[in-house]
Structure 1
Amino acid sequence: MEEIKHGNIVSLEEIFESKSHLYLVMQLVSGGELFDRIIEKGFYTEKDASKLIQQILDAVKYLHDMGIVHRDLKPENLLYYSMDEDSKIMISDFGLSKIEDSASVMSTACGTPGYVAPEVLAQKPYSKAVDCWSIGVIAYILLCGYPPFYDDNDAKLFEQILKAEYEFDSPYWDDISDSAKDFIVHLMEKDPNTRFTCEQALQHPWIAGDTALDKNIHESVSAQIKKNFAKSKWKQAFNATAVVRHMRRLQLGSSHEGPNPTLPSPFQTHLPMPGEDAGDELLFVC
C-alpha cells in the first residue's frame, strides 16, 4: 500500500505503531458505496457504467503493471471519493491482495463467491487474470442490477462459475448494446489465457469508443439492485470447510448434496498469514 499511488485507489497515508497496536491512516473517502449512489441517481445510463469501469480498469492495470493482484474486486470495495455528482470511484480493501512474482505461484482460493474466477474454484494456479474476470462480473451487474451467477446452494453456484454459464436475460438486457455484451463476454471468458487483459479491455469500443448507449436504465437497474443485494449487509461469511467439501464433490462429479452447514460468525473466517498461499485452503469473504 505504501508503494501504490493512483488517483482511483485509496491510499495509505501514515503508519503509527505502539506497544499494542498498529495504526493505519487511510485516505478519507466519503462518497459512499457504488450501489447506494446508483440507487440514489435519477438518471443512469450505459455511458455512466462505461465511465465507472474505465476508471476501475485503469487502476487495476496500474496494479498489474506493478505485479499486484487485488483478488477481491467487488462492488462493496468500490467507493466514491466524495459526494460530488461527478466524483471519481476508488478501489479499496487490499486485505487479500498479493504481489505476483516468479518465485511464488498463487493458488489459494480466495475472494468473494459470485465474483471469483473459474480457475480459482478449480483450485488451479492462477494469475492477475482473476481480477479481469471480476471486473467483467461488476460490469454485468452495473448494466442489469443482478449477478450473472446466483444460487442459494454454494455447490450449484460454483458449478455455474466453473462452466462460465451466464445469460443476457430478457427483458433486462433488451435495451443494452451489443457492444456492452461483447465487452463482458471478453472479460468473463472461461479460459484465462484468452480473457481480455486490462489493457485490451481499455481499448474496447465500449470503453474507448462511443458505443455505450445514453438511454436511461436507472429504473430497471436500481430495482434489481435493491432486490438482489439486500442480503449483502448481513451475509458476512461462508463456511470455508464446507466450501472445500462442495468443491471436492464437484471435482469428483458427485451430485450428492449434504445438509446445509451453519454459517460461522464473520469473525471466524481464516485470513492467511503474510506470505501464506496454501493451495489446500479455500477462503471466501463477503
Structure 2
Amino acid sequence: PRNQNSFIRKQEGSDSLACVFVCLCFRGAFSEVVLAEEKRTQKLVAIKCIPKKALEGKENSIENEIAVLHKIKHTNIVSLEEIFESKSHLYLVMQLVSGGELFDRIIEKGFYTEKDASKLIQQILDAVKYLHDMGIVHRDLKPENLLYYSMDEDSKIMISDFGLSKIEGSGSVMSTACGTPGYVAPEVLAQKPYSKAVDCWSIGVIAYILLCGYPPFYDENDAKLFEQILKAEYEFDSPYWDDISDSAKDFIVHLMQKDPNTRYTCDQALQHPWICGDTALDKNIHESVSAQIKKNFAKSKWKQAFNATAVVRHMRRLQLGTSHEGPNPCPTEDTGTSCG
C-alpha cells in the first residue's frame, strides 16, 4: 500500500523535484496513472508510472511515445512536462486534465446541438493538423482519448494517449495493424501502407457518433465489423439523422472516404462550411444522442481496446479455411490522464 508521504524524485541531485502521491487514477496492463502534487509549485499533475520490468522488450515503444510527446506543444493536446526515473520505475509527469470524458459530458448536458459537435470537431482538427504538420500520426483517435481540460462548461477538449503514435520519416509509410475496432480506417485493416489519412477517417467516425450517439459500424463479431469497415458501408439511419443537416452529413462523407487519396485532409475539413461557416444547426438533439450513447457506449464496452492485428489474422484464416476459433482480442493499456 502507498504511503501519503511517498514521493518521486528526479535523479539529478540539485535539480531534484518531489511529487507527493495523492491518489491512484487508473491501473492498466503495463502501468498506472496517479494524481500527484508537485511540492515546489503545489501544482497537481498526472504521473504515468511504468515498471521497468514491464518495459523489457517494449523499450522501443515507450521511447517512441516519449519522443512524440516531447515534440508536442498544443493547447488541445495533453503535454508531457517531466520525466523521472528510479531503479525500478519510469515516471512520465503529464499535464493534469480533470474535466472528464467526452461522452460523460454530453450525457450530463441538458442542451446539445450540431454547433456543439462542430466546435468539438474543430478543436480536434486543429490539434491533429498540428500533429500532421509535425509529421506525427496519432493512429488511435477515439472518444475515450478525448478529455475535457476542466469542469468549466466552456472547457476545451484535449487529445490524450499517444501510445500508438508514430513519427513519420520523410516519405515513409506505415503498415502495422493497430487501433481500436470501429475507428480504424479501411486501409489499416487491409494491411495496406497508410499515413496521416487514417486520423482523418477516425475524426469522421467521431463526428458521426457525436451527431447520433451510435457508431457507423457495429457487429458483435469482430470479423464482420471489420468487413463493414473495409467496404466503408454505413448509413445515416432514420429517424436518428432526420434532424441533422445535409452539411453535417456531407462533412462526414468527405472524411469517411474509403480511398485515402480522396479523403479530406485536416486542412480541407477545417474549410468545410459545417466547421468554419454557419451550416451547423442550433436544434437541441441532446435527448436522442444521449439516449443512444447510454445504449451503445456502456463503459464496459467502450473502455475496451483491441489490437486489430488479431482480427486481421483471424480474417486471413477464415479466407484460407483454416480457422476453428474466433480472434483473441488483446486489451491495450488504459492510460487516460483524467482522475474522475
Normalising by the smaller structure, the TM-score range is: 0.7 to 0.9
Q: Judge conservation of contact 2:190–2:230 (CA < 8 Å) in 1.
A: yes
Distance in 2 separating the partners of 1:253 and 1:195: 34
Q: Is residue 2:102 matched to residue 1:34?
A: yes
Return the offset for 1:250: 6.5
Distance in 2 separating the partners of 1:71 and 1:192: 14
Q: Which of these residues, 148, 168, 174, is aligned with residue 100 of structure 1?
A: 168
- Bigger drift between 17-26 and 199-208 goes to 17-26
Which sections of structure 2, spanning at least 5 residues, go unmatched? 1-68
Distance in 2 separating the partners of 1:275 and 1:86: 31
> Residues 176, 94 of structure 1: CA spacing in aligned structure 2 closer, same or farther, 3 A cutoff?
same
Return the offset for 1:211: 0.1
Q: CA RMSD of the aligned region, Å?
A: 3.8
Q: Judge conservation of contact 2:73–2:79 (CA < 8 Å) in 1.
A: yes
Return the offset for 1:142: 0.1
Q: Judge conservation of contact 1:183–1:201 (CA < 8 Å) in 2.
A: yes
> Residues 223, 253 of structure 1: CA spacing in aligned structure 2 closer, same or farther, 3 A cutoff?
farther
Distance in 2 separating the partners of 1:258 and 1:94: 29
Q: Secondary structure at the match of 1:2?
A: helix
Return the offset for 1:248: 1.1
Q: Judge conservation of contact 2:180–2:306 (CA < 8 Å) in 1.
A: no
Q: Judge conservation of contact 2:102–2:144 (CA < 8 Å) in 1.
A: yes
Return the offset for 1:157: 0.2
Q: Deviation per CA, 1:44-101: give whole Å up to 9, x if none.
A: 0000000000000000000000000000000000000000000000000000000011
Q: Is residue 2:185 matched to residue 1:117?
A: yes
Distance in 2 separating the partners of 1:192 and 1:93: 24
> Residues 189, 27 of structure 1: CA spacing in aligned structure 2 closer, same or farther, 3 A cutoff?
same
Q: Secondary structure at the match of 1:243?
A: helix
Q: Judge conservation of contact 1:10–1:26 (CA < 8 Å) in 2.
A: yes
> Residues 278, 123 of structure 1: CA spacing in aligned structure 2 closer, same or farther, 3 A cutoff?
farther
Return the offset for 1:19: 1.7
Distance in 2 separating the partners of 1:185 and 1:249: 32
TM-score (norm 2): 0.73
* Rg comparison, structure with higher value: 2
Which sections of structure 1, spanning at least 5 residues, go unmatched? 262-273, 280-286
Q: Secondary structure at the match of 2:71?
A: coil
> Residues 240, 136 of structure 1: CA spacing in aligned structure 2 closer, same or farther, 3 A cutoff?
closer
Distance in 2 separating the partners of 1:237 and 1:211: 34
How does 1:60-75 map onto structure 2 within 5 Å? 60-75=128-143
Q: Judge conservation of contact 1:146–1:228 (CA < 8 Å) in 2.
A: yes
Q: Is residue 2:273 matched to residue 1:205?
A: yes
- Bigger drift between 18-27 and 157-166 goes to 18-27
Return the offset for 1:181: 0.0
Distance in 2 separating the partners of 1:143 and 1:218: 9
Distance in 2 separating the partners of 1:259 and 1:64: 32
> Residues 103, 208 of structure 1: CA spacing in aligned structure 2 closer, same or farther, 3 A cutoff?
closer
- Bigger drift between 153-162 and 244-253 goes to 244-253
Distance in 1 separating the partners of 2:196 and 2:239: 34
Q: Secondary structure at the match of 2:254?
A: helix
Distance in 1 separating the partners of 2:176 and 2:273: 34
Distance in 2 separating the partners of 1:240 and 1:191: 20
Larger fraction in strand = 2
Distance in 2 separating the partners of 1:250 and 1:207: 42
Identity percentage of aligned residues: 95
Return the offset for 1:152: 0.3
> Residues 139, 64 of structure 1: CA spacing in aligned structure 2 closer, same or farther, 3 A cutoff?
same
Q: Secondary structure at the match of 2:84?
A: strand
Q: Deviation per CA, 1:125-175: give whole Å up to 9, x if none.
A: 101000000000000000000000000001110000000000000000000
Distance in 1 separating the partners of 2:133 and 2:332: 20
TM-score (norm 1): 0.86
Q: Judge conservation of contact 1:148–1:167 (CA < 8 Å) in 2.
A: yes
Distance in 2 separating the partners of 1:260 and 1:22: 30
Return the offset for 1:244: 3.0
Distance in 2 separating the partners of 1:4 and 1:240: 26
Q: Judge conservation of contact 2:102–2:143 (CA < 8 Å) in 1.
A: yes
Return the offset for 1:254: 10
- Bigger drift between 102-111 and 132-141 goes to 102-111
Return the offset for 1:102: 2.6
Q: Judge conservation of contact 1:31–1:84 (CA < 8 Å) in 2.
A: yes
Q: Judge conservation of contact 2:180–2:307 (CA < 8 Å) in 1.
A: no
Q: Deviation per CA, 1:155-206: give whole Å up to 9, x if none.
A: 1100000000000000000000000000000000000001000000000000
Distance in 1 separating the partners of 2:248 and 2:176: 31
Q: Deviation per CA, 1:100-130: give whole Å up to 9, x if none.
A: 1137431101000000000000001101000
